[in-house]
Structure 1
Amino acid sequence: MPLRKKAEIAEIEQRLLLDGIYYRYHYDFRGYAQGSIKRGLEAALSSFGCQTLSQLQDRIMHDPTAFTALLGYLTVQVSDMFRDPAYFAALRREVVPLLRTYPSLKIWVAGCSTGEEVYSLAILLQEEGLLERSLIYATDINSQALRVAEQGIFGIERAESFSENYLKAGGKHSLADYYTAHYGHVVLDKELRKNVVFADHSLATDSVFAEMHLISCRNVLIYFDSDLQNRAFDLFKQSLCHRGFLGLGMKESLRFSNQAQAFEDVAQVEKIYQKKSNIE
């Protein structure tokens, strides 16, 4: 069969598979960047022992446990504590002074993956005296990733890079003050997660669930197409309180979105924005 025809069939199969996932499991990957989805599915084929996406679809449709495993290939679980340290330094410098003016805080980490950013924010808030009055919502569509995040346990080989990032981000102590080493792992202090709620939430299908003072959604939107990005920005605008803050990844921007006029720059390089005063 000519390569072009094979590519056309694979494209049809991918579209049918994503439709099937949506109607069977209510997870919507149809608005994700299709190149990223294609790479994930190619890796899944080998792991599942399938020759074609049609074979994979048949298995996924009839085996919910297989779908749970497939989520690991469709969602990107790459993170780090204090990833992009300049972002966290900018939060301390530009955002924390204003957060201090609120008697209580609600913070949403959207697409929290395995929890590294959640704990980074919790440590930052702890050091700034804000964690006790904060409620952090940590959401992701991958339930396996959420279970890892709730445990707060990471391989000890990652501790060095975590610590380097922490210090570059303006950490006030030693990161080792916040974890114990145990059998090749670092176990984060349980006090860091006592004000954290971990929950399933999809930016593709779910709605607003609370009014937030800060939303941090970093390195998630780069995997969305423009329509799905705009849906996410709509959600963020609706979710933020008056003059609330939004943080994005270094390769993400509000500039060409449908909500570009609803926000103003707080830290342009670090991609931190604030909802404008005249926006509901």
Structure 2
Amino acid sequence: MKMDRLTQEQIQKEEIEQIEADLLLESIYRYYGYDFRNYSKPFILRRLLHRVHKENVTSISALQERVLRDPVTVKKIFSDLSINVTEMFRDPSFFQSFRKRVIPIVKEYSEIRIWHAGCASGEEVYSMAILLQEEGVYEKARIFATDINARMIERAKKGAFSLANMQQYTKNYMEAGGTKSFSEYYKVVGGEAVFNPLLQKNIVFAEHNLVTDSSFNEFDIIICRNVLIYFNQKLQHDVHKLFYESLSLSGFLCLGNREGVRLTTYGKYYDETDPAGKLYRKVL
């Protein structure tokens, strides 16, 4: 009986927290214009409860009061809900597959338009720039790297990353099929690795919100890795629609290792170039 009561209390607590979270997200959307309402509910709850703890308040409802009166708190929550997990040559097998299956095809193009959506602080964008340079196609490529978070975009533009991460990044680079010494691409300044400015030459960093913004060009390659997993099914569908409309015929869609197109409405419009590497080619 006691166990049943505890279980019921936990269920009620979770229901209340979900209602509180929904109300807070609606407040943020209506007052500030940021729309997180269709993000994954477990992700949202986890991040909001983390912020409740950090702000030393008693509940998500108490956090909501601050949201409507304190822009600083909103910035913190916005940062919490933005997806900033990244590293250079993350998932090396993806970059290996890209070298093997995509590069031989796009080498024949007169220009290569790439959209890297959800680029965070830019580590994977610079990784792609390095790969394209090593494969001899960077000069005809243009990478549009976008993210919802303006602070992350500014960090990405600097092309400077913690020196403490370089050992792992070097390991990733070698496993991804790198052909040079990774240290050739950066110089050490203080505690940071500052990457060669030439890598930025064909990169355009800009704010773009996958939830509310529309297509802004036609692309040969769209890279959006480990972002869709944070969206609910409706928002995933909307973003897949955006990518489909933004991708040229025979263009490539590159997703994260826990993402795919097979079970989506748009699955029939793609061939699986490499299911394990999450590379898909638009055929319809």
TM-score range, shorter chain: over 0.9
| Unmatched runs of 5 consecutive residues or more in structure 1 | none
Superposed CA offset, 1:113-157 (max 9, x none): 111110000101111122222111111111222221111111111
The answer to whether the aligner puts 1:237 opposite 2:266 as a matched pair is: no
Q: Counterpart in 1 of 2:13?
A: 6
Distance 1:85 1:78 in 2: 16
Task: After TM superposition, give the deviation of residue 3 of structure 1 in Å.
Answer: 4.0
Superposed CA offset, 1:5-49 (max 9, x none): 333322111001111111222221111111011111111112223
The answer to whether the aligner puts 1:225 opposite 2:232 as a matched pair is: yes
Q: Counterpart in 2 of 1:109?
A: 116
Superposed CA offset, 1:26-76 (max 9, x none): 221111111011111111112223222122122222333322221221123
The answer to whether the aligner puts 1:190 opposite 2:191 as a matched pair is: no
| Unmatched runs of 5 consecutive residues or more in structure 2 | 1-7
Task: After TM superposition, give the deviation of residue 109 of structure 1 in Å.
Answer: 0.8
The answer to whether the aligner puts 1:33 opposite 2:79 as a matched pair is: no
Q: Counterpart in 2 of 1:135?
A: 142
Q: Counterpart in 2 of 1:267?
A: 274
Contact 1:27 1:202 in 2 (8 A): no
Q: Counterpart in 2 of 1:100?
A: 107
Q: Counterpart in 2 of 1:76?
A: 83
The residue type paired with residue 161 of structure 1 is Q
The residue type paired with residue 167 of structure 1 is M
The answer to whether the aligner puts 1:42 opposite 2:46 as a matched pair is: no
Distance 2:245 2:126 in 1: 25
Distance 1:94 1:59 in 2: 50
Distance 1:199 1:67 in 2: 21
Distance 1:266 1:10 in 2: 42
Q: Counterpart in 2 of 1:65?
A: 72
The residue type paired with residue 240 of structure 2 is F
Contact 1:109 1:139 in 2 (8 A): yes
SS of the aligned residue for 2:68 comes to helix
Contact 1:72 1:142 in 2 (8 A): yes
The residue type paired with residue 188 of structure 2 is A
The answer to whether the aligner puts 1:154 opposite 2:161 as a matched pair is: yes
Distance 1:199 1:41 in 2: 27
SS of the aligned residue for 1:32 comes to coil
SS of the aligned residue for 1:250 comes to coil
The residue type paired with residue 95 of structure 1 is V
Contact 1:213 1:245 in 2 (8 A): yes
Which 10-residue stretch deviates more, 96-105 or 12-21? 96-105
What is the root-mean-square deviation in Å for CA atoms of aligned residues? 1.4
Distance 1:45 1:84 in 2: 32
The residue type paired with residue 117 of structure 2 is A
The residue type paired with residue 82 of structure 1 is F
Distance 1:12 1:224 in 2: 18
Q: How many residues align?
A: 277
Q: Counterpart in 1 of 2:59?
A: 52
Q: Counterpart in 1 of 2:173?
A: 166
SS of the aligned residue for 1:253 comes to coil
The residue type paired with residue 269 of structure 1 is A
Q: Counterpart in 2 of 1:89?
A: 96
Distance 1:152 1:46 in 2: 33
SS of the aligned residue for 1:68 comes to helix
